[in-house]
Amino acid sequence: MAWNIDATHSQATFSVKHMMISTVRGHFEVLSGQLNIDEAHPENSWVEAEVDAASINTRDPKRDGHLKSPDFFDVRTVPQNYFQEHQS
């Protein structure tokens, strides 16, 4: 059974340790993808997701600007980031 990821009811979130004393949390505002569940053979299930890297939001505009730069996501060159998980 296949589904499209519903961006209204889904989240792409992350958390990262910063200098070993605090945790930075954030999310991507724009995401899409597909999920396919094979109930008879779960090993054949897969997911593909995509986020718009420029939509990153850590609630700190300066940090978000740095994350969008070539030091990290380089959103001008690589505007989309993909995640795929397929079992072989």
What is the span of the domain harbouring residue 50?
A: 2-86
Strands 22-28 and 12-18: antiparallel
Return the pLDDT at 79. Answer: 93
Q: Around 46, how many Cα atoms within 13 Å sit in the side-chain half-sphere?
A: 10
Domain tally for the chain? 1
Cβ-in-10-Å burial (0-12, 13-18, 19+) of 26 comes to middle
Return the pLDDT at 26. Answer: 97
CATH number at residue 41: 2.40.128.110
pLDDT in tens, 4-45: 999 999 999 999 998 889 999 999 999 999 999 999 999 999
Q: Is the pLDDT of residue 88 over 70?
A: no
Q: Which of 66, 62, 49, 38 is nearest to 13 (CA)?
A: 49
Residue that wins the pLDDT comparison between 85 and 57:
57
pLDDT in tens, 52-80: 999 999 999 999 999 999 999 999 999 99
